[in-house]
Structure 1
Amino acid sequence: MASKSTRTTFSNFQASFLALTAVRLWISLTDLSITLKHDHQLSSPLTSFSQLQEGIYLFKHDIDPYSGGSFRHSPILLSFFATILPNSRKLASVLWTLIDAAGAWSLVQIWRSRQNVISSPWDILIASLYLLNPYIFLPSLALSTSSFENTLMLLSIMLASQGRASASLLALSLLLHLSLSSIVMLLPILLLLINDPHSHLASPKPMANSLRKMVPLFGEFTVYTGILTILSTIVAGSWAWIPQTWGATLTLPDLTPNTGLWWYFFTEMFDHFRPFFLMVFSVHLLIYVVPTCIKFQHDPLYATFIMLGILGTFKPYTTLSDPGLFLSMIAIFPETYPYLRHPIVTALLHLHSALLMPLFHHLWLTQGTGNANFFYATTLVFACSNGAALVDSIWAGLRIAIGPPVDNYTVVQE
């Protein structure tokens, strides 16, 4: 009887998942992608589909796309879109929908691994919170390649949760070639590979000999990264792609507005101080890795989740899809919900910034009645809302080990 119930739940999930994907596909085939493709909130110079098409055109006409200083996509994307994958708008919309569907499916598989079940009634809700998340949905409509990054990230986490080390490390290596900042995810995923994905937040225990187990996995990741680097160099014809792609993450040559914290700061920065603050901002993203992994070493999937939040907040070229992935993953940690301190405040901050960002962006760049301070002020509010969600999640992950939440009124009365 239980087996029949499981099959019914699974078939219902499949039908609902296909319906969600069909709705997404129908919306993506409208003219919205033309309207949204130049929106700075949805794509950055490193993820813009328009710049990808420009690089493909140059590549097909035997012109080095990396020689002009404006093309910053990985040679892996360049080679696939120039040979196999479609770059026309309609076909690309179909591809982006399928990529998001693969990401949603991976998130459901992570949930199942976390709960140690074959299927559950919550599967469709998990998928919906990814496919219908506006922070994920809108960049996909704009054909931002950040959708590929999110899906590769979820694939790597899913495969690590299932104990498939080689496939997980290969997916992470592919992701690294699309976005250098994703290197901060290496340590938590290595921890996840040597531990199970089940919830251990309520019973934290230190892991023994974890470093020794991670060394061969790190070596395998290095081999994959080296092979992909050589293949990328062969495709590009030289090493010029490295400073134009990976180097752009470290040197921030393009100060096009985005939802992140870097662009306006370095727009106002004197050139004399620029190298120092580039180093400070880059190191700031890295300093969270080891403390987070040590504190949540007993639950590496939760450590991975926390690092996604940090990456989505402090990444150099962020779009809405970066924090969107973190917010969608909150759904797979229901055990932390009773311990969240200010979820309503966090939700209102996100609503506030989500309404003001497009408004001030339009006033500044379309109407010309505002200035950069308008838009940057809203991105600061957006960063505060991401930070609030991140801090609340860290608090809940730590507080759950102490015991059930206590009502403050009861404490005062006692």
Structure 2
Amino acid sequence: MDAKFFKLLLLGGVVRFYFSRTPLAAMIGNRVEFATPLNSHKRMQEGIFLLQSGIDPYQGDLVHETPLILSALSGLFQKYPHLLPAFYIILDVFTAALLYLMSRRFVRQKQEQQTTEQKHYAKDTAELQFSDLDKYDIPELVIVAYLFNPLTVMNCIGMTSTVISNLFLASFLYCLVKGLLLPCLLVLAFETVRSFYPIVLIAPLLLVFSHNSIRRGLVITLLFIASCLGVAYANFLVLNSWNFLDGTLGFIFYFRDLQPNIGLFWYFFTEMFEHFRTMFLITFQLNATVLYLLPLSIKLRKEPLLLATVLVALMTVFRAYPSLGDVGFYLALLPLWKRCWKFMAHGFVVFTFFLVTLSMMGALWHLWIYAGSANANFYFGATLAFSTGQIFLITDLLFAHVKREFCLFKGQKIWIDGVEARIVLK
């Protein structure tokens, strides 16, 4: 860690602090693109107030944060509310620091792996291999992509609990790369009990720690289940009630709040007939969790961190209550795969999708809700296009990784009878 690292952290904190003092912070806290029923700052305030008043926060359908988080933050919310922006800024900056440290360790591991495999590489693949400069460039790109992405900045100043989720996910990735099994299990269990979808990250965890041993994998799986049960029981002790399970995991799975967001659930469940709800509910939840888990785990069994990145991105796209803060997190992981960028063919298309759809969301929301000159189809069209852009990005990254792996060992040029093959249009 050098002086540049600390300067970036300081600058990222200053940017967040500046915008937290502007009217933009209050506006972001009310925007459906950032604040959902799960991560809303207002709902967390309500939950803490009910908890402090001796009322079960989960008797109604307003609070969906876990009792441990509500209890841990109650003192800060009640006694020092003026310090809340600084608290969220510190958490977000710490998340960036963890991503930086994780990426440094990752590049070092890839270079060690490359040293053992290099004798099998083709001769014309130097630009596809990790270089000494990558030890500095990639971590810097990661920390810049997180600290100065407008999505993560606005997510932070809006004080959504996605800031906490990003911290747990960054901690998981750091422990995964460092090879710390127990912290990895505990962090993943805690986040799984909070938001359900991170359960899919058990796959990269098993790839890293099981060492191709089925017995060891079963033991780790049992430890993960025990960790989840332990976290659930700790939440039970706060309220002496299991109501929180229905208010958190049950609320997510059954999708009870149809408030619009950037995801795909709300529009379908608003428009469909009620007797189809169970079928579509199971279909959508399978799509967001286990549908892609096995094939991706098989294909990326040698790249657990890439598998984790793709799974985080997929659960962001397909989860019940996504927010732009979730999107900002996985975008910060893309520089890890800098050596694949040469083969990513849809960069301009994805950038255009993101730019246009993010610009249109605010305008179409205003036309629908305030001006009354549009309807839900307009807003959903923008969010559907945004999700499509994300899918283009994820598939482009996967194809780029496959192409890079092929070219590393087979070469970037194809030779036929000693002559370089060329595609000629006639």
TM norm structure 1: 0.89
Equivalent of residue 61 in structure 2, options 69, 83, 94: 69
- The Cα of 1:89 is off from its aligned counterpart by 5.1
Partner of 1:132: 148
Return closer, same or farther for 1:354/1:69 CA change in 2, 3 Å cut-off.
same
Gaps of 5+ in 2: 110-133, 415-419
Q: Does 2:415 align with 1:412?
A: no
Partner of 1:223: 226
Q: Distance in 2 between matches of 1:256 and 1:230?
A: 30
Once structures 1 and 2 are overlaid, which stretch shifts more, 134-143 or 159-168?
Answer: 134-143
Report the 3-state secondary structure (helix = DSSP H, G, I; strand = E; otherwise coil) of the residue aligned with 1:400.
helix
**Is the CA contact 1:312–1:323 (under 8 Å) kept in the aligned structure 2?**
yes
Equivalent of residue 334 in structure 1, options 335, 338, 342: 338
- The Cα of 1:405 is off from its aligned counterpart by 5.1
- Per-residue Cα deviation, 1:157-213 (whole angstroms, up to 9, x for no partner): 111100111111111111112211111112122323456xxxxxxxxxxxxx34333
Q: What residue identity is the alignment partner of 2:343?
A: Y
Q: Distance in 1 between matches of 2:227 and 2:322?
A: 26
Q: Distance in 2 between matches of 1:188 and 1:375?
A: 35
For 1:289-304, list aligned pairs within 5 A. 289-304=293-308
**Is the CA contact 2:9–2:147 (under 8 Å) kept in the aligned structure 1?**
no
Q: Distance in 2 between matches of 1:406 and 1:256?
A: 52
Partner of 2:380: 376
Report the 3-state secondary structure (helix = DSSP H, G, I; strand = E; otherwise coil) of the residue aligned with 1:38.
coil
Partner of 2:139: 123
Q: Distance in 2 between matches of 1:390 and 1:68?
A: 38
Q: Does 2:71 align with 1:79?
A: yes
Partner of 1:150: 166
For 1:21-100, list aligned pairs within 5 A. 21-83=13-75, 90-100=82-92
Partner of 1:190: 206
**Is the CA contact 2:8–2:144 (under 8 Å) kept in the aligned structure 1?**
no
RMSD: 2.1
- Per-residue Cα deviation, 1:115-170 (whole angstroms, up to 9, x for no partner): 11896254333211101112222122211111111110111011110011111111
Equivalent of residue 236 in structure 1, options 235, 239, 242: 239
- The Cα of 1:34 is off from its aligned counterpart by 1.5
Q: Distance in 1 between matches of 2:413 and 2:350?
A: 21
Equivalent of residue 282 in structure 1, options 282, 285, 298: 285
Return closer, same or farther for 1:15/1:282 CA change in 2, 3 Å cut-off.
same
| Structure 1 moving runs of 4+ over 4 Å | 84-89, 404-407
Q: Does 2:95 align with 1:103?
A: yes
Equivalent of residue 176 in structure 2, options 160, 167, 171: 160
Q: Distance in 2 between matches of 1:306 and 1:122?
A: 18
Partner of 1:5: none
Q: What residue identity is the alignment partner of 1:266?
A: F
Q: Which has the larger radius of gyration?
A: 2
- The Cα of 1:22 is off from its aligned counterpart by 2.2
Partner of 2:126: none
TM norm structure 2: 0.87
- What fraction of aligned residue pairs are identical, expressed as a percent? 26
- The Cα of 1:323 is off from its aligned counterpart by 2.2
Q: Distance in 1 between matches of 2:217 and 2:173?
A: 16
For 1:351-390, list aligned pairs within 5 A. 351-390=355-394
Partner of 1:311: 315
Partner of 1:198: none
Partner of 1:325: 329
Report the 3-state secondary structure (helix = DSSP H, G, I; strand = E; otherwise coil) of the residue aligned with 1:71.
coil
Report the 3-state secondary structure (helix = DSSP H, G, I; strand = E; otherwise coil) of the residue aligned with 1:247.
helix
Q: Distance in 2 between matches of 1:48 and 1:235?
A: 21
- Per-residue Cα deviation, 1:21-79 (whole angstroms, up to 9, x for no partner): 22222222333221221110001101101011011111111111110122111112111
- Per-residue Cα deviation, 1:99-127 (whole angstroms, up to 9, x for no partner): 11111111111211111189625433321
Aligned length: 392
Once structures 1 and 2 are overlaid, which stretch shifts more, 210-219 or 249-258?
Answer: 210-219
Return closer, same or farther for 1:296/1:121 CA change in 2, 3 Å cut-off.
closer
Return closer, same or farther for 1:383/1:80 CA change in 2, 3 Å cut-off.
same
**Is the CA contact 2:138–2:336 (under 8 Å) kept in the aligned structure 1?**
no
- The Cα of 1:311 is off from its aligned counterpart by 0.8
Q: Distance in 2 between matches of 1:304 and 1:94?
A: 30
